[in-house]
Amino acid sequence: MTIKEKGYSHWDGEFLARKFPWWPITRYGIKLTFQRKFFKFIFPMSLLPAIFYLAGIYVSERLEDFPFLRGETIQFLQIGPNYFKTYFTQGFMLFIMLMIVIFCGASLISDDLKHNSLQLYFSRPLKKKDYFLGKSAVIVFFLFIITLIPGLVFFIMKLIFSGSLKFFLSYPWLPLSIIGYSFIVTGFFSFYTLFLSSLSKNRRLVAILIFGVYFLSDIVYLIFRREFRSHYVSLVSLRSNLQQVGAHIFGQKAPYDVSWIFSFLVLLGICVVAGFVLKSKVKGVEIVK
């Protein structure tokens, strides 16, 4: 006898009092991202810089085994906060983060808008906060894999390869810098991506926006720099602001002659605006006035 023939049956289980009601959103978001063909290719590629830098740490402790290394390479392999700063803030690494958020984040809200699924989420015992946390945790998960985790692994491997605590004693604050910058860059990209994802029902358009706004800000910066010859115009570039804040957090010389506070405030401002827009755009019902 099929269940349909038996009639409706009750569920005799108990609801969970979840501490993190957003967790299923994150889990399914990660699962769906891994189902994407391009992402299966992009994601392993995004780990290559981390593998390269990890190899650099190994080589730095065995320089005598690599006598062909000269000049700039030897200088690059001087492992210190600058090595970490270079990993986290180099343009290529930020570009990889951008590619990751395009593939994992562009559709996070836009697909829900396109397929009217917000009402399905909000007819469950979820608050807006849970929805945003669940969605942003998908981005956080993938970005931490290429920022926080490699950063901490580099630090631990440096200690293991060197066989002493000298590196830790020289830079005891470095793990905090790694954690701090990973949170800042991940937090920024989460707000940035969700904000743009909430602006359109077309995930391809959102992907173009994520890519376009980032590079447009850089192009505008280059044009302004030629015109005004002022370091302050670097504040219009998202990349420059992330690099400026990163340099400060890792205790290195800032690439632009502008206080890092301004850059931090620009990034924070973008996050605040994104938060307001998200709050107003994401609703259980679309009200046509």
Partner 1 sequence: MSIEIKDIHFSYGKVKALEGVSLDLPQGAVGLLGPNGAGKSTLIRILLGFLSPDNGGGRVLGYDIKDEQTEIRRYVGYMPEDDCFIPGLDAVSFTSYLGELSGMPSQEAMKRAHEVLFYVGLKESRYRKLETYSSGMKQRLKLAQAIVHDPKLIFLDEPTSGLDPQGRSEILELIMDISSKKDIQVLISSHILPDIELTCKYVVILNKGKLAAQGDISELKEIRDLYEIKVKGEAGGFLRKLKAMKCKVEETEDEILKVYWPPKQNRQEIFRIAAEEKIQLRHFVKSETSLEDLFAQVVGVD
Q: Which of 63, 165, 272, 285 binds partner 1 (CB under 8 A)?
A: 285
CA pair distance 70, 63, nearest whole angstrom: 10
Please say which residue, 111 or 218, places its beta carbon nearer to partner 1.
Answer: 111
CA pair distance 212, 219, nearest whole angstrom: 10
Nearest-approach distance from CB 274 to partner 1, in angstroms: 23
The answer to whether 287 contacts partner 1 (rule: CB under 8 A) is yes
Nearest-approach distance from CB 279 to partner 1, in angstroms: 15
Nearest-approach distance from CB 11 to partner 1, in angstroms: 4
Q: Which string of x and - marks every residue 115-134 that binds partner 1 (by CB under 8 A)? A: xxx-xxxxxxxxx-------
Nearest-approach distance from CB 112 to partner 1, in angstroms: 8
Nearest-approach distance from CB 95 to partner 1, in angstroms: 26
CA pair distance 29, 136, nearest whole angstrom: 10
Q: Which 3-state string (H, E, C) describes 160-224?
A: HHHCCCHHHHHCCCHHHHHHHHHHHHHHHHHHHHHHHHCCCCCHHHHHHHHHHHHHHHHHHHHHH
Provide the phi-psi class of 41: left if phi over 0, else alpha when psi is between -120 and 50, else beta.
Answer: alpha
Q: Which of 30, 32, 205, 216 binds partner 1 (CB under 8 A)?
A: 32
* CA distances to 11, 76, 125, 126, 259 from 1, in Å: 19, 72, 34, 36, 74
Please say which residue, 166 or 279, places its beta carbon nearer to partner 1.
Answer: 279
Q: Which string of x and - marks every residue 2-21 that binds partner 1 (by CB under 8 A)? A: xxx--xxxxx-x-xxxx--x
Q: Which of 112, 155, 210, 225 binds partner 1 (CB under 8 A)?
A: 112
